[in-house]
């Protein structure tokens, strides 16, 4: 059975979230509640629930600090932040949260979260035979990787066509890539041009930890993301120094909650 811990310093909020979860996820077992940051960290490390619903603004330790300390302790708990503020979205992303809920809670939004969590629960909930099969598959992949040649080196420099010029641009200076038919548009601080490479082929040569595909036609450089904006179900990324915002497709929004 999947277990959960609810952490919030407001009793009414804890009760509200528990009621929603009982309705949307009857099989979920809420093992305990925490009233502040230190209490939340202690119960995560002791009870090791599958999911911790963390308020961000809590006495003693913030929810972000609790998540970071739990990671250092290698707790297997997945974190869902529940907060009244949307300004913490990027910090939640860095803390490897699996979702980010805004107060007041919305039943439809909670239902989508429940569906996603059920699909991404850790393998310890698999039946013994399924778990053994998963372990064998992992072992097979590891053996195959050892037999494979050295991975292709990551791309460093790009030759970008800007009008009648060819500009040399380091990938670190690229703000985002955008698919443009059989070419790819490259946007940097002082460069906006094309390269003769499809977005799909380009992705294979980029560091996946730094470059995130936020739409089927757009890849952003994480280091140039200034803010994430939400309006209902619509999520947009603000790139540092640019007025234009980039739309995040619904299937990619978990990357900014992720994980």
**Mean pLDDT within 3-27:** 94
Which pLDDT score, from 0 to 100, does residue 259 have? 35
Which pLDDT score, from 0 to 100, does residue 152 have? 56
Residue 136 has pLDDT above 80, yes or no: no
93-97 long-range contacts (CB < 8 A, ≥24 apart) are 93/228, 93/255, 93/256, 93/257, 93/258, 95/64, 95/67, 95/68, 95/71, 96/67, 96/71, 96/258, 96/259, 97/67, 97/257, 97/258, 97/259
d(CA 178, CA 218) in angstroms, rounded, equals 5
Strand-by-strand arrangement of the 51-55 sheet: 29-34, 3-7, 51-55, 78-83, 99-102
Percent of the chain with pLDDT over 90: 32
Instruction: Select, from the ranges 18-27, 73-82, 161-170, 181-190, the one with the highest average predicted confidence (pLDDT).
Output: 18-27
d(CA 98, CA 254) in angstroms, rounded, equals 7
Which pLDDT score, from 0 to 100, does residue 258 have? 42
State the pLDDT confidence band at 122, using cuts at 50, 70 and 90.
Answer: low
The secondary structure element, H or E, covering residue 242 is none
> Looking at per-residue confidence, does 228 or 85 come out higher?
228
In 3-state terms, what secondary structure has residue 10?
A: coil
pTM of whole model > 0.85? no
- Kindly report which listed range (16-25, 88-97, 217-226) carries the lowest average pLDDT score: 88-97
Asked if residue 17 lies in contact with residue 51, where contact means CB atoms within 8 angstroms, the answer is: no
Q: What is the pLDDT of residues 185-229, one digit of tens each?
A: 999 988 899 998 888 888 888 888 888 888 889 999 988 888 888
């Amino acid at each position: 059975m999947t277990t959960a811990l609810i952490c919030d310093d407001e009793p009414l909020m804890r009760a509200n979230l528990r009621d929603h979860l009982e309705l949307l996820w009857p099989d979920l077992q809420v093992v305990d509640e925490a009233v502040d940051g230190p209490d939340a960290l202690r119960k995560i490390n002791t009870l090791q629930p599958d999911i911790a619903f963390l308020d961000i603004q809590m006495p003693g330790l913030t929810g972000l600090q609790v998540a970071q300390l739990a990671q250092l302790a290698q707790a297997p708990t997945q974190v869902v932040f529940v907060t009244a503020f949307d300004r913490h979205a990027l910090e939640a992303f860095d803390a490897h949260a699996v979702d980010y809920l805004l107060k007041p809670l919305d039943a439809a939004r909670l239902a989508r979260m429940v569906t996603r969590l059920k699909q991404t629960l850790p393998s310890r909930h698999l039946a013994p035979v399924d778990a053994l099969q998963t372990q064998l598959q992992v072992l097979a992949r590891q053996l195959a990787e050892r037999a494979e040649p050295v991975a292709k080196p990551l791309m460093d420099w790009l030759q970008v066509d800007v009008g009648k010029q060819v500009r040399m641009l380091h990938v670190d200076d690229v703000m985002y890539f955008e698919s443009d038919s059989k070419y790819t548009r490259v946007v940097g601080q002082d460069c906006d041009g094309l390269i003769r490479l499809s977005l799909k082929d380009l992705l294979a040569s980029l560091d996946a930890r730094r470059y995130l595909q936020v739409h089927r036609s757009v890849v952003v450089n994480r280091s140039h993301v200034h803010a994430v904006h939400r309006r209902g179900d619509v999520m947009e990324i603000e790139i540092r120094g640019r007025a234009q915002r980039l739309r995040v497709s619904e299937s990619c929004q978990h990357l900014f909650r992720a994980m």
